[in-house]
Structure 1
Amino acid sequence: MLAGSLPADAERLGPERAPPGPSAPGDALTDRYVFDAATPRRREAALDDLRAGFTAWRLAWALARLDLRNRYRGSIIGPFWMTLSTVLMLGGLGALYSRLLGLTLADYLPHLAVSLVVWSAISGVVTDACTAMINAEGVIRQIRVPYTVHALRSVFRNVLTAAHSLPMILVVFVIFGYMPGPVALLAIPGLLLLLVNAFFASLLLGMVCARFRDIGPIVQNIIQLAFFMTPVLWKPELLKELAVWLPLNPFFAILETIRGPLLEGGGPPLAWVAAVLYTAVLGTVAIAFFMRFRGRLAFWV
């Protein structure tokens, strides 16, 4: 009998009395009942997938590390090319925009360093989320692995990439003698919010972009526009009275939960409220979409 198949009399015995047959690792749903088109039990299937996927987080971590090795195979400095690119942007944009905005380097470069590193992580997560399921086409079609693993794989891949640039923030702080103080610990919940949003985005955009391949380029254009509409190169106070509307920008809200504790004494409370609200909305939509269309993903990739 092939792995993952059920005994021939399983359907006749019914979901509750079907004899246990061998199943592939991570396919907890097959062990529980036989799929019936009349009662698809999408909710149970999605929850089992999430549970099995988070249980197999080590597999996602190993696949993410393998992805980075393959991406930079033959490269001398590997992922540190991203760090070098950020350093060059920081030096060039810092020298230019500090003059345009009438700010000293000591005031502007810490803001720009944190903003560029965090924005690179956000944009990398969103862009990579669009191909999270498409890039796993071979695995999805041939091996029974929880789809949650592919979303976690995308998150871990971007975490490893962003980790190479995070020390640059500390270097800039040391050079200019800036110390954020104990309030900087609030950046940890901000990072957790970013990770949660990264997972939900990988789950939702990964499926949507697998079904509609035009969504990926649209998302990339939105990210490019958001870079200039979000206070990354410029400071929020430059908008003066219009700065109160910035929390309507979800990218600003997530960015500020990390940048605020490091630079602004914790950041505006409204930005934290907006970030939590956007996370809840994204999570609800992602889980609902996953429950409804999980069974079709193998036909979309």
Structure 2
Amino acid sequence: MTIMDAAAQSRTFARAWGDLVAGFGKRELWLHLGWQDIKQRYRRSVLGPFWITIATGTTAVAMGGLYSMLFKLELSEHLPYVTLGLIVWNLINASILEGAEVFIANEGLIKQLPTPLSVHVYRLVWRQMILFAHNIIIFVIIAIVYPKPWNWADLAVIPALGLIAANCVWVALCFGILATRYRDIGPLLGSLVQLLFFMTPIIWNESTLQAQGAGGWAKVVELNPLLHYLDIVRAPLLGADQELRHWVVVLVLTVVGWTFAALAMRQYRARVPYWV
């Protein structure tokens, strides 16, 4: 068999799917590595990962309080809104920025440990879900201070988080492969994500735009896909009405994203060890 034949055989959807399945099957490995990442980052720290919780909580309280005064919004409504927005944003932000570095950061393991590439992506998403669990404590405290009525429909947050995690996986796969090949992608994504933060309704909402006479921008904001990802998690936890269009957009983007991820894995999975 020639090198060309071997390369052609490696570029199949079966091999790409096999990598994803085999990587998920090594749960003990990536669960352990993800947990060790948290412990290593906060080694000899008394509060450990709760430092991130404190930082996120401080930012949420400061921004929620400031913008509620600036835009004359009820603090009891705006503070939980901003808090959830920041918590979900941190999860999405990490899947993009750390996802772009996921293979580069694991160069040693990729070259020395014969394991599916997807293991490193699952490790990243698992680590971010642990941090998300720490940060959600902030919202629990705020929900106790400013209680909201709940109903069974609010349990939709569970499949919503599952969709977010599934999207984090394909985002990290796509950007990880792309940024490994083209190292300028990482800094470019950093600038783009920073811009998206201000274009996403995290510290402001539609009523804020209307109050400032910019109601027409609401249609432009709808083009931002992150709006829909935020809403499917934030609306159930706030006890707000859930809109079907947000779920439809997220489901469509999930299918499209995984299609691109499958194509990227099929075509470039075997090349990543040579690029890192």
TM-score when normalising by structure 1: 0.84
After superposition, residues 206-217 of structure 1 pair within 5 angstroms as 206-217=176-187
Out of 254, 263, 272, the residue aligned to residue 288 of structure 1 is 263
Structure 2 match to 1:256: 231
Cα deviation for residue 268 of structure 1 reads 2.1
Structure 1 match to 2:212: none
Structure 2 match to 1:6: none
Deviation track 1:15-73 (CA, whole Å, cap 9, x = no partner) reads xxxxxxxxxxxxxxxxxxx9933742422321221121111122111111111111111
Cα deviation for residue 136 of structure 1 reads 1.1
Deviation track 1:252-299 (CA, whole Å, cap 9, x = no partner) reads 111111012222534322111111111111111111011001110111
Structure 1 match to 2:54: 84
Structure 2 match to 1:36: 5
Structure 2 match to 1:21: none
Structure 2 match to 1:159: 129
What letter matches 1:134 in structure 2?
Answer: I
Is residue 174 from structure 1 mapped to residue 144 from structure 2 by the alignment? yes
What letter matches 1:268 in structure 2?
Answer: E
Deviation track 1:181-202 (CA, whole Å, cap 9, x = no partner) reads 3221111121111000111011
Which structure carries more relative contact order (alpha carbon 8 Å, separation 6+)? 2
Structure 2 match to 1:62: 32
Q: Which structure 1 residue ranges, 5 or more long, are not aligned?
A: 1-10, 13-33
Out of 192, 195, 200, the residue aligned to residue 230 of structure 1 is 200
Looking at structure 1, the residues matched to 116 and 198 of structure 2 have their Cα atoms a distance apart, in angstroms, of: 37
Return closer, same or farther for 1:174/1:264 CA change in 2, 3 Å cut-off: closer
Looking at structure 2, the residues matched to 190 and 198 of structure 1 have their Cα atoms a distance apart, in angstroms, of: 12
What letter matches 1:231 in structure 2?
Answer: P
Looking at structure 2, the residues matched to 272 and 245 of structure 1 have their Cα atoms a distance apart, in angstroms, of: 18
Looking at structure 2, the residues matched to 122 and 255 of structure 1 have their Cα atoms a distance apart, in angstroms, of: 9
Cα-Cα RMSD:
1.9
Looking at structure 2, the residues matched to 209 and 220 of structure 1 have their Cα atoms a distance apart, in angstroms, of: 12
Cα deviation for residue 177 of structure 1 reads 2.2
Deviation track 1:112-139 (CA, whole Å, cap 9, x = no partner) reads 1211111111112222111111111101
Looking at structure 2, the residues matched to 251 and 125 of structure 1 have their Cα atoms a distance apart, in angstroms, of: 13
Out of 18, 32, 40, the residue aligned to residue 48 of structure 1 is 18
Looking at structure 2, the residues matched to 80 and 184 of structure 1 have their Cα atoms a distance apart, in angstroms, of: 27
What letter matches 2:74 in structure 1?
Answer: T
Structure 2 match to 1:190: 160
Looking at structure 2, the residues matched to 264 and 123 of structure 1 have their Cα atoms a distance apart, in angstroms, of: 25
Structure 2 match to 1:276: 251
Looking at structure 2, the residues matched to 173 and 118 of structure 1 have their Cα atoms a distance apart, in angstroms, of: 16
Looking at structure 2, the residues matched to 193 and 285 of structure 1 have their Cα atoms a distance apart, in angstroms, of: 17
What letter matches 2:85 in structure 1?
Answer: S
Helix, strand or coil: the match of 1:254?
A: helix
Is residue 109 from structure 1 mapped to residue 79 from structure 2 by the alignment? yes
Q: Is the 8 A contact 2:17 2:262 kept in 1?
A: no
Identity of aligned residues (%): 34
Looking at structure 2, the residues matched to 210 and 78 of structure 1 have their Cα atoms a distance apart, in angstroms, of: 31
Structure 2 match to 1:142: 112
